[in-house]
Amino acid sequence: MENPYLDPQRVRAALRSLDLRPTRGMGQNFLIDGQALASIVGAADLGPADLVVEVGPGLGVLTWELTRRAGHVVAVELDKRLASRLRDELPGAPLTIVEADVLRVAPGDLLAQAADQRLMTKGESRSAGEFGPAPFALRPSSYKLVANLPYAITSAVLRHFLESAAPPALSVVLVQLEVAQRITAAPGDLSVLAHSVQIYAEPVMVAKVPAASFFPAPAVDSAVLQIRRRARLAVEVDSVDRLFRVIKAGFLHARKQLGNSLPGGLAALGHKISREQAQAALASAGIDPQRRAETVTLTEWALVYESLKSSL
């Protein structure tokens, strides 16, 4: 059976019935491209033992696919109209719908809501209907985040999950192309966003998705991003928060030479150090003070942090 939610006419009719006008602020651009959808689902590599968290299910185009492949899906939807419609559209699906702002709900609490439905127990039966077979044993400790993320909250959502006490083992997200490029950047084009993802996970761009793949079409193209959690942090430090104080300080004036920008950036964040201290920290990490922040790797930032942490 083909996904019925890919039909633009059906999307328009559903929006009219809900008296819903898509807004940029809510990131309400509905996917109508089967090839892009297949890229997301393929990258997620789903099976009946998988527990999936979806953010912003909207009209259900991705949810429809997820509930036919995964053991259970927890969909987090802020818009009450869309959440109510999703319940009506997918009766009997292995689906928990949470009406909430995802940034205000800890990922662990989302998993607990699925557990409350007694879907975590081995061999638990459910009404399959037209959906896939009931899971043999769901694995909440290695759940997957699969979502078409609203552009405005992409970075916040990724950090919310990756930095949580219960991070996903794998994330497959549809995001703005420019954001995907920043997250997957190599030295020379690095940013605070790249480091904030790459310290926890390994991101790979799977496919580019043109603006015409959505209704209404956004102003920019998108990309499917696969983010696989690392077994351990990319660098070992005693405090990720304090490490990122140093990184953020370096990027406050990203186009300036670090020997000049780092002390000023730290001062702006409330940590006064002398130019000589900054120069010494850079030298201890083997970093030329004439380099710029976008060229510095996580390993190098960790060495700078080790030299400066007593001053933070």
Confidence of residue 25 (pLDDT cuts 50, 70, 90): low
Task: Tell me what pLDDT residue 171 has.
Answer: 98
Task: Tell me what pLDDT residue 139 has.
Answer: 64
Task: Tell me what pLDDT residue 253 has.
Answer: 83
Task: Tell me what pLDDT residue 277 has.
Answer: 93
What mean pLDDT do residues 120-134 have? Answer: 41
Confidence of residue 142 (pLDDT cuts 50, 70, 90): confident
> Are 163 and 108 a contacting pair, CB within 8 Å?
no
Confidence of residue 24 (pLDDT cuts 50, 70, 90): low
For residue 129, pLDDT over 60 is answered with no
Q: What is the mean pLDDT of the chain?
A: 89
What mean pLDDT do residues 134-146 have? Answer: 70
What mean pLDDT do residues 158-186 have? Answer: 97
CATH of 4-229, one of 2.40.110.10, 3.40.50.150, 2.60.40.10, 3.40.50.300: 3.40.50.150
Task: Tell me what pLDDT residue 256 has.
Answer: 87
pTM for this prediction: 0.90
Q: What are the residue ranges spanned by the domains of the chain?
A: 4-229, 240-311
**Amino acid sitting at position 228:** R
Task: Tell me what pLDDT residue 26 has.
Answer: 52
Task: Tell me what pLDDT residue 150 has.
Answer: 87
Task: Tell me what pLDDT residue 113 has.
Answer: 79
**Which overall architecture, per CATH, does domain 240-311 show?**
Orthogonal Bundle (1.10)
From the list 156, 241, 149, 159, the residue with the least C-alpha distance to 198 is: 159
What mean pLDDT do residues 93-98 have? Answer: 93
Structure tokens at 228: 């696989």
**Amino acid sitting at position 272:** K
For residue 124, pLDDT over 80 is answered with no
Structure tokens at 194: 């790249």
What mean pLDDT do residues 293-302 have? Answer: 97
- Between CA 195 and CA 87 the distance in angstroms is 38
What mean pLDDT do residues 12-19 have? Answer: 91
- Between CA 177 and CA 4 the distance in angstroms is 26
> Are 203 and 43 a contacting pair, CB within 8 Å?
no
For residue 161, pLDDT over 70 is answered with yes
Q: b/e for 26-54, b at 16 or more Cβ within 10 A?
A: bbbbbbbbeebbebbbebbebebebbbbb
> Are 277 and 243 a contacting pair, CB within 8 Å?
no
pLDDT digit string (tens) for 247-292? 999 999 867 899 989 999 999 999 999 999 999 999 999 999 999 9
What mean pLDDT do residues 140-166 have? Answer: 92
Task: Tell me what pLDDT residue 126 has.
Answer: 38
Q: H/E element holding 51? A: strand 51-55
